[in-house]
Amino acid sequence: MTPAPAILCRDLELRRDGATVLTLAQWTVRPGERWVVMGPNGCGKSSLALAALGRLHPWEGTIEILGQVSGRDEILSLRSRIGFSGDSLEPLIEPRVSAKELVETGFVGTLGMRFDRPTRMQQRKAGAELEAWGLADHRNRPLGKLSLGQRRRAWLARALAGEPDLLILDEPCAGLDPRAREDLLEHLEALAKRRPELPVVLVTHHLEEIPPCFGNVLLLSNATALAQGALDPILRSDAFQAMFGAGFKACKRSGRWTLVRRRI
């Protein structure tokens, strides 16, 4: 029996403040697939991420998330089944919260424990996830005293501590210096080996932020899809050049992609 898709979009239209921000005829993310969603600013990437989290309902069409239809089914229970990391979360938690406390909130799908306290097993899992992301020695440090790269890894540990069925990363490398970026990408490579069955969606507009373990790409431009499918052929295609302009092309060096200017 074929496993159900993690994400299934059909004739999807998303609107924000009354304006259409994305139309997508079809898109499927299957278990074990790692997708890059990329395109220029304002193309609809973050809106698609919100829709995949169940926080932005379709205006038209459908998006099915882990078997639940957004806007029709009860999707509150998905909070603990979807891991998410992105800039939008960081302002929502106080800097004095420790890295371990942050990761523990991932078990309840909120940014505060409120009436739910982590069990001993959850505390052990939180500690193990922090160790996997290279933060074992910083577990009790407040977030405000961690570097930006360490905070990003702490948020990723939170997203994964509850062993989610889907992981969505909204520009996790934004603002990182090259060393911190490479450190985070190495940990994403390790995650692919540790949890090969986990479907992952990575939103970015930088080729350099694509880990080698990702094999599929969805190109967006002007609120619609230009192309989707296997990463290598699409990044070498006319569709990619149309997105960034004829003066640029994608090159692969030592297993990693980069954007370079064409020689005239």
Q: 176-214 pLDDT, tens per residue?
A: 999 999 999 999 999 999 999 999 999 998 999 999 999
CA distances from 134 to 35, 130, 154, 159 (A): 24, 6, 9, 15
| Token pair 């302002």 in the structure block, residue | 91
Walk me through the domains of the chain, giving residue ranges and CATH numbers. Answer: 1-74+166-235 (3.40.50.300), 82-164 (3.40.50.300)
The DSSP bridge partners found for residue 12 are 24
Three-class secondary structure of residue 100 per DSSP:
helix
Q: What is the pLDDT of residue 62?
A: 96
Model confidence over 1-19: pLDDT tens digits? Answer: 667 899 999 999 999 999 9
What distance in Å separates the CA atoms of residue 6 and residue 96, rounded to the nearest whole number? 35
At a CB cut-off of 8 Å and minimum separation 6, what does 79 contact? 109, 110
When pLDDT is cut at 50, 70 and 90, the band that residue 77 belongs to is confident
Q: What is the pLDDT of residue 84?
A: 92
Rg (CA), the chain: 18
Q: pTM for the whole thing?
A: 0.92
**Which contiguous run of DSSP H or E holds residue 186?**
helix 178-194
Nearest CA to 209 out of 234, 183, 233, 230 is that of 183
Give the CA count within 13 Å in the CB-facing half-sphere of 96: 0
The alpha carbon of residue 86 and the mean position of all alpha carbons in its chain are separated, in whole angstroms, by: 7
Asked whether the beta carbons of 168 and 201 are under 8 A apart, the reply is: yes
Nearest CA to 111 out of 92, 91, 85, 98 is that of 92
Model confidence over 91-117: pLDDT tens digits? Answer: 778 888 999 999 998 887 666 655 467
Give the pair of three-digit tokens for residue 179.
Answer: 């060393």
Q: What is the pLDDT of residue 92?
A: 78
Model confidence over 30-75: pLDDT tens digits? Answer: 999 999 999 988 899 999 999 999 999 999 999 999 999 998 888 7
